[in-house]
Amino acid sequence: MRADAQRNRDRIVEVAREVFREQGYDASLDEVAKRAGVGAGTLYRHFPARENLIDAIMQSWVDRVDEAVAKALAHEGPPRALLLSWFAAYVELISLHKGGPAKITSAMGNPDSPIVHKCQVLTRASDRVVARLRDEGALRPDVDSVHICRLVGGVAAVADQGGLDQSAISPLLEVLADGLLVPA
Amino acid sequence: MRADAQRNRDRIVEVAREVFREQGYDASLDEVAKRAGVGAGTLYRHFPARENLIDAIMQSWVDRVDEAVAKALAHEGPPRALLLSWFAAYVELISLHKGGPAKITSAMGNPDSPIVHKCQVLTRASDRVVARLRDEGALRPDVDSVHICRLVGGVAAVADQGGLDQSAISPLLEVLADGLLVPA
DNA sequence: TACAATACGGAGACTGTCTCCGTTTAGCAA
DNA sequence: TTGCTAAACGGAGACAGTCTCCGTATTGTA
Closest nt by CA–C1' to B39: C9
Q: What confidence score (pLDDT) does residue A103 get?
A: 87
Q: Say how far A9 CA is from D3 C1', in Å.
A: 29
The 10s digit of each residue's pLDDT in A79-95 is 999 999 999 999 999 99
How many angstroms separate the CA atoms of B133 and B143, rounded?
11
- Say if CB B86 and CB B129 are below 8 A apart: yes
Q: What confidence score (pLDDT) does residue B85 get?
A: 96
Question: Are the beta carbons of B155 and A154 separated by less than 8 Å?
Answer: yes
The 10s digit of each residue's pLDDT in A138-163 is 999 999 999 999 999 999 999 998 99
Q: What confidence score (pLDDT) does residue B41 get?
A: 97
Q: Which of B178, B180, B181, B182 to mutate to test the interface with A (most CBs of A within 10 A)?
A: B178
Written as tens digits, the pLDDT of chain B (184 aa) is 899 999 999 999 999 999 999 998 899 999 999 999 999 999 999 999 999 999 899 888 888 999 999 999 998 899 999 999 999 999 999 998 888 899 889 888 788 777 888 889 999 999 999 999 999 999 999 999 999 999 999 999 999 989 999 999 999 999 999 999 999 7
Q: What are phi and psi of A181, to 5 degrees?
A: -90, 155
Mean pLDDT of chain A: 93
Q: Please report residues contacting nucleic strand C, using a CB cutoff of 7 A.
A: A 2-4, 26-31, 39-41, 44-45, 48-50; B 1-2, 4-5, 8-9, 37-42, 45-46
The DSSP letter of residue B96 is S
Q: Which residues, in sequence order, are CB contacts of A168 under 8 Å at separation 6+?
A: A159
- Go through chain A and tell me how many residues it has: 184
Q: What confidence score (pLDDT) does residue A15 get?
A: 97
- pLDDT band of A106, cuts 50, 70, 90: confident
- pLDDT band of A107, cuts 50, 70, 90: confident
Instruction: Please give the residue that has the higher pLDDT: either A129 or B96.
Output: A129
Q: How far is A177 from chain B (nearest CA, A)?
A: 7
Residue A167 has pLDDT above 90, yes or no: yes
Contacts of B161 in chain A (CB under 8 A): 102, 105-106
Whether residue A107 lies within 8 A of chain B, CB to CB, comes out as yes
Nucleotides on chain D within 7 angstroms of protein Cβ? 7-13, 16-22, 26-28
How many angstroms separate the CA atoms of A59 and A41, rounded?
23
- Say if CB B121 and CB B62 are below 8 A apart: yes
Q: What confidence score (pLDDT) does residue B133 get?
A: 97
Amino acid at A76: E
Q: Which residues, in sequence order, are CB contacts of A182 under 8 Å at separation 6+?
A: A137, A138, A139, A140
Q: What confidence score (pLDDT) does residue A81 get?
A: 96
Closest nt by CA–C1' to A44: C18
Q: What confidence score (pLDDT) does residue B116 get?
A: 82
Q: What percentage of chain A carries pLDDT values higher than 90?
A: 78
Q: Say how far B39 CA is from C3 C1', in Å.
A: 26
Contacts of A110 in chain B (CB under 8 A): 162-163
Nucleotides on chain C within 7 angstroms of protein Cβ? 6-12, 15-21, 25-27
How many angstroms separate the CA atoms of B176 and B83, rounded?
9
Scanning B164-183 for CB atoms below 8 A from A yields 164, 171-172, 174-180, 183
- Say if CB A121 and CB A59 are below 8 A apart: no
Whether residue A143 lies within 8 A of chain B, CB to CB, comes out as yes
Q: Which residues, in sequence order, are CB contacts of B50 under 8 Å at separation 6+?
A: B25, B29
Q: What percentage of chain A carries pLDDT values higher than 70?
A: 100
